[in-house]
């Protein structure tokens, strides 16, 4: 019985000691300090007790104050969301022609460079089409050349007809003179004049032939241009049998094997640029007003716990919310130094809930003076320190803190509380809790 009693006494003494330590850690030391006459301010700065005991300071002497430096922050702390990593740029290579896959020069995870050949399709059909188009182009060029030769012949005919016409006019004039003199009959003169008319008709006919041949040459030239476009299209179709990478990155997935026949538009490979990553999270409409483009974000990856926090920023905020969930997609961009982070990983994103430029202070800072919406800032140092009243514009208020929209800048020293109400310009001295 004696050993058991001694053991109980030791346990009780141990529990009482731990309870006192826990009470101090949990903040229960404050009532003990107040009950014993302790304070946040030194004994010389403490408020006087009843009856003037404790040495009442002079009314115009320095006022004991507790100060702090203004910091940008928020009332709601930080909001956390989850999303999935994906490449900054991601493309799906699709076949632009039908054919059989005859070669693959890369597989999943392999790096690729822009314009590198990574797959080939059978190009026999495209080669045949190109040869036919080129043959047709040659035929049309030959037809055009023949039409140009015909123009030359028609122009020669025009020259001959014009010479015949000129001679017929001379003969008709001479015979008309002779007929007028009675040297020849009128019928001979009229026959010569008829020959002139026929020669004129022959000239017009030859000129029409020249115009027709020129139109034929123009049409042939247009056909040549059209056929050239067909040849160029056939060449492009043949070039599509060589599949090249449009970016520098890695192969994310492969949808075909060598020997597969693919139709035009079928997916072949998926590529991604992993030099930077994007994480899209769904943000409630109640919180979207606290976010802005370029706002910093902190990202943690479960796959890389040792990497710690990765700093990113908001790159895009969708203008439309989901009509059912009222969630708005927000895209965050993070760097991928070393390229170790892959696509499809769980990412935990945290934003600062407060808007940039706002300062949050304890609500007690607004009650140290006799005027509402006034904060006392500290000017000077040591014995020259003074409390200067400054009007501020307040925002949202929490349980013990309030937002300052204007009138107080970050890192400015201000009075949190004092041992008596302050007036602007009053000398102050700092408590041991002052920053």
Predicted pLDDT of residue 77? 57
The pLDDT score that the predictor gives to residue 262 is 93
Mean pLDDT of 165-192: 86
Average pLDDT of the residues in 315-341: 91
pLDDT of residue 211: 85
> How are beta strands 401-406 and 71-72 bridged, if at all?
unpaired
Instruction: Give the residue with greater pLDDT, 357 vs 277.
Output: 277
Mean pLDDT, residues 350-355 taken together: 63
Q: Provide the pLDDT for residue 63.
A: 86
**pLDDT-derived band of residue 418, with 50, 70 and 90 as boundaries?**
confident
154 DSSP β-pair partners: none
282 Cβ contact partners less than 8 Å away, ≥ 6 residues apart:
81, 83, 322, 325, 327, 328, 329, 330
pLDDT at 78: 60
Q: Is the pLDDT of residue 303 over 70?
A: yes
Which three-class secondary structure state does DSSP give residue 386? Answer: strand
| Higher pLDDT, residue 58 or 250 | 250
Whole-prediction pTM value? Answer: 0.52
Alpha helices in 26-103 (DSSP H): 29-35
Mean of pLDDT values over 336-358? 78
pLDDT of 97 reads 92
**Residue with the larger pLDDT of the pair 24 and 156:** 156
Kindly tell me if the per-residue pLDDT of 253 is higher than 90. yes
Contact between residue 404 and residue 392 where contact means Cβ atoms under 8 Å apart: yes
d(CA 57, CA 237) in angstroms, rounded, equals: 96
pLDDT band at residue 435 under the 50/70/90 scheme: low
Q: Which pLDDT tens digit goes with each residue over 94-127? A: 999 999 999 999 999 899 999 999 999 998 989 9
87, pLDDT greater than 90 = yes
pLDDT given at position 364: 86
Q: How confident is the model at residue 337 (pLDDT cuts 50, 70, 90)?
A: confident
Longest dimension (CA), the chain: 182
Split at pLDDT 50, 70, 90, the class of 55 is very low
Question: 23-51, pLDDT tens digit by residue?
Answer: 434 443 333 333 333 444 444 444 444 43
Rounded CA separation 254/304 (Å): 26
Cβ atoms of 98 and 264 within 8 Å: the answer is: yes
Which pLDDT value is given to residue 244?
94
On the question of pLDDT at 359 being above 90, the answer is no
- Between CA 360 and CA 291 the distance in angstroms is 18
**Per-residue model confidence as pLDDT tens digits over 207-218:** 888 888 888 888
Contacts of 136 (CB under 8 A, 6+ apart): 227, 230
User: Which sign does the torsion angle of CA 333, 337, 343, 348 carry?
Assistant: negative
CA dihedral for 265, 270, 276, 281, sign (positive or negative): positive
- Report whether 169 contacts 249 (CB < 8 A): no
* Helix/strand/coil for 326: coil
Residue count of the chain: 435
Which residues have CB under 8 Å from 33's CB, separation 6+? 39
> What tokens were used for 19?
């309870």
Phi first, then psi, for residue 50 (nearest 5°) are -60, 140
Task: Yes or no: say if 414 and 367 are a contact pair by the CB < 8 Å rule.
Answer: no
d(CA 47, CA 45): 7
pLDDT tens digits, 276-295: 999 999 998 888 888 899 98
Q: Above pLDDT 70, what percent of the chain?
A: 83
pLDDT band at 7 (very low <50, low <70, confident <90, very high): very low
Q: Examine the pLDDT at 75 and tell me if it is beyond 70.
A: no
Residue 397 has pLDDT above 60, yes or no: yes
Residue 2 pLDDT level (bands cut at 50, 70, 90): very low
Asked if 65 contacts 386 with a C-beta cutoff of 8 angstroms, the reply is no
pLDDT at 349: 93
pLDDT above 60 (res 148): yes
Residue of 29 and 168 predicted with greater confidence: 168
Structure tokens at 256: 């075909």
């Amino acid at each position: 019985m004696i050993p058991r009693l001694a053991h109980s006494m030791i346990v009780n003494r141990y529990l009482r000691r731990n309870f006192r330590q826990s009470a101090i850690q949990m903040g229960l030391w404050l009532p003990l300090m107040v009950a014993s006459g302790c304070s946040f301010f030194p004994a010389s700065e403490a408020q006087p007790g009843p009856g003037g005991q404790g040495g009442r300071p002079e009314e115009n002497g320095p006022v004991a104050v507790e100060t702090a430096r203004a910091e940008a922050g928020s009332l709601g702390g930080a909001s956390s969301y989850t999303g999935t990593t994906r490449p900054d740029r991601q493309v799906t290579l699709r076949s632009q022609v039908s054919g059989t896959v005859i070669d693959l020069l890369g597989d999943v995870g392999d790096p690729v460079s822009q314009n590198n050949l990574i797959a080939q399709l059978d190009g026999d059909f495209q080669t045949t089409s190109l040869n036919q188009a080129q043959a047709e182009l040659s035929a049309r060029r030959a037809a055009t050349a023949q039409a140009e030769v015909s123009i030359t012949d028609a122009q020669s005919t025009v020259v001959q007809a014009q010479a015949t016409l000129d001679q017929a006019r001379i003969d008709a004039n001479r015979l008309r003179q002779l007929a007028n003199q009675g040297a020849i009959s009128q019928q001979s003169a009229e026959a010569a004049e008829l020959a002139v008319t026929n020669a004129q008709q022959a000239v017009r006919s030859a000129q029409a032939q020249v115009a027709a041949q020129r139109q034929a040459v123009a049409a042939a030239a247009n056909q040549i241009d059209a056929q050239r476009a067909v040849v160029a299209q056939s060449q492009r179709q043949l070039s599509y049998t060589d599949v090249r990478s449009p970016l520098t990155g890695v192969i994310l997935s492969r949808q075909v094997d060598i020997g597969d026949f693919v139709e035009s538009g079928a997916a072949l490979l998926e590529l991604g640029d992993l030099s930077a990553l994007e994480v899209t999270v769904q943000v409630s409409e109640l919180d979207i007003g606290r976010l802005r483009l370029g706002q910093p974000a902190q990202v943690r990856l479960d796959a890389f716990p040792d990497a710690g926090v990765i700093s990113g920023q908001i790159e895009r905020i969708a203008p439309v919310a989901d009509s059912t969930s009222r969630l708005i997609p927000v895209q965050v961009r993070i760097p991928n130094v070393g390229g170790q982070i892959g696509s499809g990983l769980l990412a935990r994103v945290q934003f600062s809930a407060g808007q940039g430029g706002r300062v949050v202070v304890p609500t007690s800072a607004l009650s140290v003076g006799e005027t509402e919406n006034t904060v006392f800032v500290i000017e000077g140092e040591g014995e020259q320190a003074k409390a200067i009243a400054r009007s501020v514009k307040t925002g949202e208020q929490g349980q013990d803190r309030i937002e300052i929209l204007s009138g107080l800048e970050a890192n400015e020293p201000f009075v949190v509380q004092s041992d008596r109400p302050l007036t602007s310009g009053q000398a102050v001295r700092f408590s041991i809790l002052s920053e």
